[in-house]
């Protein structure tokens, strides 16, 4: 039985007089501040020093409950635990623990100057759509192998390639967390994507469109839609990647000199790159400019629905147009990226050298060639691409046999 009673406690609270401490015994103490705040404090000695552990307020914690808590705390102290220090450490750990979303925000802020703008946006897009809805609210240290496997498996039900990218991004963020002491380990390090998804499918061989298939594209182009057909022609005639054309602005295109200036942020190699434009290509671009209706983008978004933040055409628009009209275009499956392999094959057929073709494709040449050959082959590329564009223009006029 302790020294205090509920009658005493209530009387002291009503009086409003401050109390530095009334002992109930066993270290349990009742205190009352000058502002009338009543509290329970457990007082004890640890390694010869006086210590205090605040249990909580009265009457929220009753006398009986306070006694039970004090008894438990006394047992922990007797077992060698400094309960006040442990409480402080627990509170500190709680404040320092970041959610996975907070960790990802810190990573994006850190990486903003190291990642290309397009890559930074891509990471943010995957986070918002696939990663944060599933694990964003978890404390970062609680993200384990189980959460990673569940996340990747769910995304893979939609797209295996997206699931692999989601795994890569999650791993990079957790590795960043390890370096910042936000998490003790990166669970992705213990996993292989192939163990979750199986081996990736073999890449489809690139398609070289035949002359007859190219003619069919021109004949049935209106089925694709005018802007899709013009986009396809520009891609075919310039050897560019679809992503590069989607990011293009009219300020990048010099109609006077016939050059398309690609900023480093828009290019896979991250280096600025100039493409010579044949007269036919300038005509196609002029038509696209009319369709753009004042937009700064060469391929602006067609529809800006409520809440939409898209400024440029959807990256799947041309793919879908080709897929829908495949039966009219020769029946063979092909994608916009096959236009690059088609262009490269015809450029070689038309007499262009391999180095010039690789420059047209803006491929990294690698090895000593990359180190010592700084020639951009602009004159040769212009001649070859003009020849290729003229070849396409003639095909467009020639009927299918």
The DSSP code for 387 is H
Largest CA distance in the chain: 109
SS3 324: helix
What is the reported pLDDT for 117?
A: 77
CA-to-CA separations, 47 to 44, 80, 82, 270, in angstroms, rounded: 10, 10, 9, 62
Q: How confident is the model over 337-362, as a mean pLDDT?
A: 88
What is the reported pLDDT for 204?
A: 64
d(CA 267, CA 118): 9
Residue 392: band (very low, low, confident or very high) from pLDDT cuts 50, 70, 90: very high
Residue 397: band (very low, low, confident or very high) from pLDDT cuts 50, 70, 90: confident
Which tokens sit at 111?
């990486």
Angle between helices 226-238 and 211-219 (to 10 degrees): 150
Specify whether domain 6-96 bears CATH 3.10.520.10: no
d(CA 293, CA 250): 12
pTM here is 0.57
**303 has a pLDDT exceeding 90:** no
Q: How confident is the model over 274-298, as a mean pLDDT?
A: 93
**104 has a pLDDT exceeding 90:** yes
Residue 225's φ and ψ, nearest 5 degrees, are: 105, 140
Which tokens sit at 218?
């021109």
Q: How confident is the model over 267-279, as a mean pLDDT?
A: 85
Question: Do the Cβ atoms of 355 and 365 come closer than 8 Å?
Answer: yes
**94 has a pLDDT exceeding 60:** no
The residue whose two tokens read 């467009």 is 396
Average pLDDT over the chain, rounded to an integer: 86
- Give helix then strand counts, H and E, for the chain: 19, 7
Region of 214 (left: φ > 0; alpha: ψ -120 to 50; beta: rest) is alpha
Residue 202: band (very low, low, confident or very high) from pLDDT cuts 50, 70, 90: low
**Mean pLDDT lowest among 40-44, 68-72, 157-161, 345-349:** 157-161
d(CA 182, CA 316): 38
Radius of gyration of the chain (CA): 34
**73 has a pLDDT exceeding 90:** yes
CATH fold of 211-397, please? Answer: hpI Integrase; Chain A (1.10.443)
What is the reported pLDDT for 369?
A: 39
6-96 and 101-195 share one fold: no
**Mean pLDDT lowest among 157-171, 356-370, 374-388:** 356-370
What is the reported pLDDT for 367?
A: 45
Residue 175 CB partners (closer than 8 Å, separation 6+): 186, 188, 189
Give residue-wise pLDDT tens across range 22-69.
Answer: 899 999 999 999 888 899 999 999 988 999 999 989 988 899 999 999
Percent of the chain topping pLDDT 70: 91
Which tokens sit at 9?
């406690």
Percent of the chain topping pLDDT 90: 43
Q: How confident is the model over 102-107, as a mean pLDDT?
A: 92
Which tokens sit at 35?
């502002």
Residue 400: band (very low, low, confident or very high) from pLDDT cuts 50, 70, 90: low
* Highest-scoring range by mean pLDDT, 3-7, 126-130, 336-340: 126-130
What is the reported pLDDT for 371?
A: 37
d(CA 42, CA 70): 6
Residue 285: band (very low, low, confident or very high) from pLDDT cuts 50, 70, 90: very high
What is the reported pLDDT for 366?
A: 52
Which tokens sit at 132?
């944060």
Q: How confident is the model over 321-347, as a mean pLDDT?
A: 86
Please tell me which residue, 251 or 376, carries the higher pLDDT value: 251
Which tokens sit at 90?
């627990």
Question: Do the Cβ atoms of 345 and 339 come closer than 8 Å?
Answer: no
What is the reported pLDDT for 126?
A: 93
Residue 92: band (very low, low, confident or very high) from pLDDT cuts 50, 70, 90: low
Give residue-wise pLDDT tens across range 354-377.
Answer: 888 888 888 765 543 343 344 578
SS3 40: strand
Residue 109 CB partners (closer than 8 Å, separation 6+): none
What is the reported pLDDT for 131?
A: 96
So where are the chain's domains? 6-96, 101-195, 211-397
What is the reported pLDDT for 355?
A: 83
Residue 203: band (very low, low, confident or very high) from pLDDT cuts 50, 70, 90: low
Specify whether domain 101-195 bears CATH 1.10.260.40: no
Which tokens sit at 212?
């007859």
């Amino acid at each position: 039985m302790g020294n205090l009673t509920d009658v005493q406690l209530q009387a002291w609270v009503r009086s409003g007089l401050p109390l530095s401490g009334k002992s109930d015994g066993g270290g349990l103490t009742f205190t009352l501040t000058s502002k009338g705040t009543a509290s329970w404090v457990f007082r004890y000695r640890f390694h010869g020093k006086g210590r205090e552990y605040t249990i909580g307020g009265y009457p929220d914690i009753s006398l009986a409950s306070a006694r039970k808590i004090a008894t438990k705390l006394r047992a922990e102290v007797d077992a060698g635990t400094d309960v006040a220090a442990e409480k402080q450490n627990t509170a500190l750990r709680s404040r320092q623990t970041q959610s996975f979303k907070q960790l990802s925000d810190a990573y994006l802020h850190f990486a903003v100057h190291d990642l290309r703008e397009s890559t930074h946006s891509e990471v943010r897009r995957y986070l918002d759509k696939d990663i944060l809805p599933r694990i964003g609210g978890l404390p970062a240290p609680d993200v384990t192998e189980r959460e990673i496997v569940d996340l990747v498996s769910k995304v893979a039900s939609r797209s295996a390639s997206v699931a692999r990218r989601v795994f890569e991004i999650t791993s990079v963020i957790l590795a960043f967390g390890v370096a910042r002491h936000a998490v003790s380990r990166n669970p992705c390090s213990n996993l292989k994507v192939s163990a979750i998804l199986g081996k990736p499918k073999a890449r489809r061989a690139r398609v070289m469109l035949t002359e007859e298939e190219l003619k069919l594209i021109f004949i049935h182009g209106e089925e694709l839609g005018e802007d899709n057909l013009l986009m396809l022609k520009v891609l075919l005639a310039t050897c560019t990647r679809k992503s590069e054309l989607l990011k293009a602005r009219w300020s990048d295109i010099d109609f006077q000199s016939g050059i398309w200036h690609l900023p480093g942020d828009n290019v896979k190699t991250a280096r600025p790159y100039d493409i010579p434009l044949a007269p036919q290509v300038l005509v196609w671009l002029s038509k696209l400019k009319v369709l753009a209706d004042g937009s700064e983008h060469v391929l602006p978004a067609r529809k800006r629905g409520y809440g939409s933040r898209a400024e440029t055409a959807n990256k799947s628009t041309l793919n879908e147009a080709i897929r829908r009209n495949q039966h009219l275009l020769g029946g063979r499956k092909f994608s916009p990226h096959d236009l690059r392999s088609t262009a490269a094959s015809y450029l070689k057929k038309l007499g262009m050298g391999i180095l010039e073709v690789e420059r047209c494709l803006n491929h990294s040449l690698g090895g000593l060639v990359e180190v010592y050959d700084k020639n951009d082959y602009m004159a040769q590329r212009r001649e070859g691409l003009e020849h290729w564009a003229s070849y396409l223009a003639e095909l467009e006029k020639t009927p299918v046999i």
